[in-house]
Protein backbone atom coordinates (compact mmCIF):
# COMPACT_ATOMS: atom_id res chain seq x y z
CA UNK A 1 0.00 0.00 0.00
CA UNK A 2 1.21 3.51 -0.85
CA UNK A 3 1.58 6.53 1.44
CA UNK A 4 0.41 9.62 -0.43
CA UNK A 5 0.20 13.33 0.32
CA UNK A 6 -2.70 15.06 -1.45
CA UNK A 7 -2.55 18.83 -1.30
CA UNK A 8 -5.83 20.70 -1.24
CA UNK A 9 -7.66 17.63 0.02
CA UNK A 10 -10.54 19.33 1.85
CA UNK A 11 -12.67 19.85 -1.25
CA UNK A 12 -13.09 19.07 -4.94
CA UNK A 13 -10.72 16.77 -6.79
CA UNK A 14 -8.28 16.61 -3.88
CA UNK A 15 -10.98 15.36 -1.53
CA UNK A 16 -12.19 12.85 -4.14
CA UNK A 17 -8.65 11.56 -4.66
CA UNK A 18 -8.04 11.28 -0.91
CA UNK A 19 -11.28 9.33 -0.39
CA UNK A 20 -10.49 6.98 -3.28
CA UNK A 21 -7.02 6.29 -1.89
CA UNK A 22 -8.32 5.67 1.63
CA UNK A 23 -11.11 3.41 0.37
CA UNK A 24 -8.47 1.34 -1.46
CA UNK A 25 -6.48 0.93 1.75
CA UNK A 26 -3.68 3.38 1.09
CA UNK A 27 -2.20 5.71 3.67
CA UNK A 28 -3.06 9.34 3.01
CA UNK A 29 -1.65 12.55 4.40
CA UNK A 30 -4.39 15.12 4.03
CA UNK A 31 -3.72 18.83 3.62
CA UNK A 32 -5.85 21.74 4.79
CA UNK A 33 -5.25 25.46 4.37
CA UNK A 34 -6.02 26.21 8.03
CA UNK A 35 -7.31 24.63 11.23
CA UNK A 36 -10.95 25.31 10.40
CA UNK A 37 -10.65 23.55 7.05
CA UNK A 38 -8.91 20.67 8.83
CA UNK A 39 -11.80 20.40 11.29
CA UNK A 40 -14.22 20.22 8.37
CA UNK A 41 -12.61 16.92 7.31
CA UNK A 42 -14.43 15.21 10.18
CA UNK A 43 -14.19 11.42 10.19
CA UNK A 44 -12.02 11.41 7.08
CA UNK A 45 -9.16 12.76 9.20
CA UNK A 46 -9.54 9.79 11.56
CA UNK A 47 -8.84 7.43 8.66
CA UNK A 48 -5.82 9.38 7.44
CA UNK A 49 -2.13 8.98 8.28
CA UNK A 50 -2.15 12.62 9.30
CA UNK A 51 -3.38 16.10 8.48
CA UNK A 52 -0.82 18.75 7.54
CA UNK A 53 -1.90 22.39 7.75
CA UNK A 54 -0.57 25.36 5.83
CA UNK A 55 -1.68 28.13 3.50
CA UNK A 56 0.08 27.51 0.19
CA UNK A 57 -0.20 31.20 -0.66
CA UNK A 58 2.39 31.90 2.05
CA UNK A 59 5.92 30.66 1.39
CA UNK A 60 6.70 30.41 5.10
CA UNK A 61 3.59 28.33 5.78
CA UNK A 62 4.46 26.12 2.81
CA UNK A 63 7.93 25.53 4.28
CA UNK A 64 6.34 24.63 7.60
CA UNK A 65 3.93 22.31 5.80
CA UNK A 66 6.90 20.46 4.31
CA UNK A 67 8.32 20.01 7.82
CA UNK A 68 5.01 18.59 9.05
CA UNK A 69 4.88 16.16 6.16
CA UNK A 70 8.47 15.01 6.67
CA UNK A 71 7.75 14.42 10.37
CA UNK A 72 5.05 11.91 9.38
CA UNK A 73 7.58 9.69 7.61
CA UNK A 74 8.63 8.79 4.10
CA UNK A 75 6.01 9.15 1.38
CA UNK A 76 5.63 7.04 -1.73
CA UNK A 77 3.90 9.77 -3.70
CA UNK A 78 2.61 13.34 -3.73
CA UNK A 79 -0.38 14.61 -5.68
CA UNK A 80 0.09 18.36 -6.11
CA UNK A 81 -3.61 19.03 -6.44
CA UNK A 82 -4.16 22.41 -4.74
CA UNK A 83 -4.68 25.36 -7.06
CA UNK A 84 -6.46 28.67 -7.41
CA UNK A 85 -8.63 29.64 -10.39
CA UNK A 86 -8.29 32.85 -12.37
CA UNK A 87 -8.65 35.88 -10.11
CA UNK A 88 -10.07 39.24 -11.24
CA UNK A 89 -7.18 41.21 -9.78
CA UNK A 90 -3.62 40.63 -8.65
CA UNK A 91 -3.94 39.67 -4.99
CA UNK A 92 -0.55 39.85 -3.27
CA UNK A 93 0.56 37.25 -0.74
CA UNK A 94 2.39 37.95 2.52
CA UNK A 95 5.61 37.96 0.50
CA UNK A 96 4.13 40.17 -2.23
CA UNK A 97 3.74 37.52 -4.91
CA UNK A 98 0.65 37.10 -7.07
CA UNK A 99 -1.50 34.61 -5.19
CA UNK A 100 -2.18 32.50 -8.30
CA UNK A 101 1.55 32.13 -8.92
CA UNK A 102 2.23 31.34 -5.26
CA UNK A 103 -0.37 28.58 -4.90
CA UNK A 104 -0.22 27.11 -8.40
CA UNK A 105 3.54 27.19 -8.97
CA UNK A 106 5.70 28.34 -6.07
CA UNK A 107 4.08 25.98 -3.55
CA UNK A 108 4.45 22.85 -5.72
CA UNK A 109 8.06 23.81 -6.35
CA UNK A 110 8.81 24.33 -2.64
CA UNK A 111 7.13 21.07 -1.63
CA UNK A 112 9.01 19.24 -4.37
CA UNK A 113 12.39 20.39 -3.11
CA UNK A 114 11.64 20.33 0.65
CA UNK A 115 9.62 17.14 1.15
CA UNK A 116 11.76 14.00 1.24
CA UNK A 117 11.80 12.66 -2.28
CA UNK A 118 9.03 10.13 -3.02
CA UNK A 119 9.07 7.75 -5.95
CA UNK A 120 6.06 9.27 -7.71
CA UNK A 121 4.90 12.84 -8.23
CA UNK A 122 1.77 14.11 -9.93
CA UNK A 123 1.12 17.78 -10.73
CA UNK A 124 -2.39 18.97 -11.64
CA UNK A 125 -2.40 20.89 -14.88
CA UNK A 126 -5.20 22.18 -17.11
CA UNK A 127 -6.01 22.24 -20.78
CA UNK A 128 -5.63 26.01 -20.49
CA UNK A 129 -1.88 25.54 -20.08
CA UNK A 130 -1.73 25.60 -23.88
CA UNK A 131 -2.75 29.27 -23.69
CA UNK A 132 0.11 30.08 -21.35
CA UNK A 133 2.79 32.51 -22.54
CA UNK A 134 6.03 30.80 -23.51
CA UNK A 135 7.95 33.54 -21.72
CA UNK A 136 9.55 33.76 -18.29
CA UNK A 137 9.56 37.55 -18.21
CA UNK A 138 7.51 39.07 -15.38
CA UNK A 139 6.00 35.77 -14.23
CA UNK A 140 4.88 37.52 -11.03
CA UNK A 141 2.93 40.22 -12.90
CA UNK A 142 4.66 43.18 -11.27
CA UNK A 143 5.22 45.12 -14.52
CA UNK A 144 2.24 44.14 -16.70
CA UNK A 145 -1.43 45.04 -16.29
CA UNK A 146 -3.16 42.11 -14.61
CA UNK A 147 -5.02 39.57 -16.73
CA UNK A 148 -6.52 36.88 -14.52
CA UNK A 149 -7.21 34.29 -17.20
CA UNK A 150 -3.72 34.71 -18.67
CA UNK A 151 -2.09 34.51 -15.24
CA UNK A 152 -3.95 31.26 -14.57
CA UNK A 153 -3.01 29.79 -17.97
CA UNK A 154 0.61 30.82 -17.42
CA UNK A 155 0.64 29.16 -13.99
CA UNK A 156 -0.59 25.89 -15.45
CA UNK A 157 2.03 26.03 -18.20
CA UNK A 158 4.70 26.56 -15.56
CA UNK A 159 3.57 23.71 -13.30
CA UNK A 160 3.33 21.36 -16.30
CA UNK A 161 6.87 22.30 -17.32
CA UNK A 162 7.94 21.81 -13.69
CA UNK A 163 6.67 18.22 -13.81
CA UNK A 164 8.71 17.62 -16.97
CA UNK A 165 11.79 19.28 -15.49
CA UNK A 166 11.59 17.11 -12.36
CA UNK A 167 11.30 14.01 -14.54
CA UNK A 168 14.47 14.99 -16.39
CA UNK A 169 16.47 16.05 -13.31
CA UNK A 170 15.36 13.08 -11.16
CA UNK A 171 15.20 10.07 -13.52
CA UNK A 172 14.44 7.63 -10.71
CA UNK A 173 11.21 9.51 -9.87
CA UNK A 174 8.03 9.15 -11.93
CA UNK A 175 6.94 12.75 -12.37
CA UNK A 176 3.87 13.43 -14.49
CA UNK A 177 1.27 16.13 -15.10
CA UNK A 178 -2.47 15.47 -15.31
CA UNK A 179 -5.24 17.48 -16.93
CA UNK A 180 -8.33 16.48 -14.90
CA UNK A 181 -10.66 18.09 -17.42
CA UNK A 182 -13.22 20.81 -16.83
CA UNK A 183 -15.09 19.24 -13.94
CA UNK A 184 -17.96 20.58 -11.78
CA UNK A 185 -16.02 21.35 -8.61
CA UNK A 186 -16.15 24.62 -6.69
CA UNK A 187 -13.25 25.75 -8.86
CA UNK A 188 -14.63 24.45 -12.16
CA UNK A 189 -18.18 25.66 -11.59
CA UNK A 190 -21.57 24.00 -11.96
CA UNK A 191 -21.61 24.30 -15.76
CA UNK A 192 -18.40 22.29 -16.24
CA UNK A 193 -18.90 19.54 -18.80
CA UNK A 194 -16.35 16.82 -17.88
CA UNK A 195 -16.94 13.83 -15.62
CA UNK A 196 -16.13 14.49 -11.96
CA UNK A 197 -15.12 10.88 -11.27
CA UNK A 198 -12.76 10.77 -14.22
CA UNK A 199 -11.30 14.02 -12.92
CA UNK A 200 -9.46 12.29 -10.08
CA UNK A 201 -8.99 8.72 -11.32
CA UNK A 202 -5.87 9.34 -13.41
CA UNK A 203 -3.82 10.87 -10.60
CA UNK A 204 -4.86 8.13 -8.16
CA UNK A 205 -3.94 5.50 -10.75
CA UNK A 206 -0.55 7.07 -11.46
CA UNK A 207 0.52 7.07 -7.79
CA UNK A 208 -0.65 3.55 -6.95
CA UNK A 209 -0.74 1.22 -9.95
CA UNK A 210 1.80 -1.35 -11.11
CA UNK A 211 0.36 -1.17 -14.63
CA UNK A 212 3.31 -0.92 -17.06
CA UNK A 213 1.43 1.80 -18.93
CA UNK A 214 1.94 4.08 -15.94
CA UNK A 215 5.65 3.28 -15.54
CA UNK A 216 6.66 6.45 -17.37
CA UNK A 217 7.80 9.92 -16.42
CA UNK A 218 7.64 13.39 -17.87
CA UNK A 219 4.29 12.80 -19.55
CA UNK A 220 1.09 14.81 -19.74
CA UNK A 221 -2.08 12.79 -19.11
CA UNK A 222 -5.80 13.20 -19.71
CA UNK A 223 -8.17 10.44 -18.56
CA UNK A 224 -5.39 7.81 -18.40
CA UNK A 225 -4.16 8.66 -21.88
CA UNK A 226 -0.89 10.39 -22.74
CA UNK A 227 -1.49 13.51 -24.81
CA UNK A 228 0.83 16.12 -26.25
CA UNK A 229 1.34 19.21 -24.06
CA UNK A 230 2.26 22.71 -25.16
CA UNK A 231 5.60 22.94 -26.95
CA UNK A 232 7.34 24.81 -24.12
CA UNK A 233 6.71 21.95 -21.66
CA UNK A 234 9.28 19.77 -23.44
CA UNK A 235 11.73 22.60 -24.13
CA UNK A 236 14.79 22.00 -21.94
CA UNK A 237 15.83 25.64 -22.06
CA UNK A 238 12.35 26.67 -20.89
CA UNK A 239 12.42 24.07 -18.11
CA UNK A 240 15.84 25.18 -16.92
CA UNK A 241 14.89 28.84 -17.09
CA UNK A 242 11.75 28.15 -15.07
CA UNK A 243 13.70 26.27 -12.39
CA UNK A 244 16.13 29.18 -12.17
CA UNK A 245 13.24 31.64 -11.75
CA UNK A 246 11.67 29.53 -9.03
CA UNK A 247 14.98 29.10 -7.24
CA UNK A 248 15.49 32.87 -7.30
CA UNK A 249 11.98 33.69 -6.07
CA UNK A 250 11.88 31.09 -3.28
CA UNK A 251 15.56 31.05 -2.33
CA UNK A 252 15.48 27.24 -2.46
CA UNK A 253 17.83 25.48 -4.91
CA UNK A 254 16.65 22.46 -6.82
CA UNK A 255 18.53 19.53 -5.28
CA UNK A 256 20.62 17.21 -7.37
CA UNK A 257 19.84 13.52 -7.61
CA UNK A 258 22.70 12.78 -5.18
CA UNK A 259 21.67 15.28 -2.50
CA UNK A 260 21.20 13.10 0.64
CA UNK A 261 19.22 15.82 2.41
CA UNK A 262 16.36 15.38 -0.05
CA UNK A 263 16.56 11.66 -0.72
Catalytically active residues are: 152, 156
Decide the pairing of beta strands 174-179 and 225-227: unpaired
What distance in Å separates the CA atoms of residue 169 and residue 75, rounded to the nearest whole number?
19
C-alpha distances in Å from residue 170, one per residue of 6, 105, 214: 21, 19, 17
Count of Cβ atoms closer than 10 Å to residue 128 Cβ: 18
Are 53 and 82 spatial neighbours (Cβ–Cβ below 8 Å)? no
What distance in Å separates the CA atoms of residue 31 and residue 232, rounded to the nearest whole number?
30
How big is the chain by its Cα radius of gyration, in Å?
A: 17
**Secondary structure letter of residue 78 according to DSSP:** E
DSSP string, 119-180: SEEEEE--GGGGGS-S--TTTT-SSSPP-HHHHHHHHHHHHHHHHHHHHHH-TTSEEEEEE-
| 3-state percent breakdown (helix, strand, coil) of the chain, nearest 5 | 40, 15, 45
Are 174 and 163 spatial neighbours (Cβ–Cβ below 8 Å)? no
**Secondary structure letter of residue 197 according to DSSP:** T
Task: List the Cα angle 94/96/101 in 5-degree steps.
Answer: 100
Amino acid sequence: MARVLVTGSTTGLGLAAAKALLDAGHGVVLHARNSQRAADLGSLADRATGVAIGDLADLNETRNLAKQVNALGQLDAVIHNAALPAEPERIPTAQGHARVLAVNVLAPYLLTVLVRRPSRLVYLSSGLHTSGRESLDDIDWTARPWNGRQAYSDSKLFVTALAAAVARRWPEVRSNAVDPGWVPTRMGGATASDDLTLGHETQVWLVTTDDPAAAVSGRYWYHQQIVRPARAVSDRAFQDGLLQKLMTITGEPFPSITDPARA
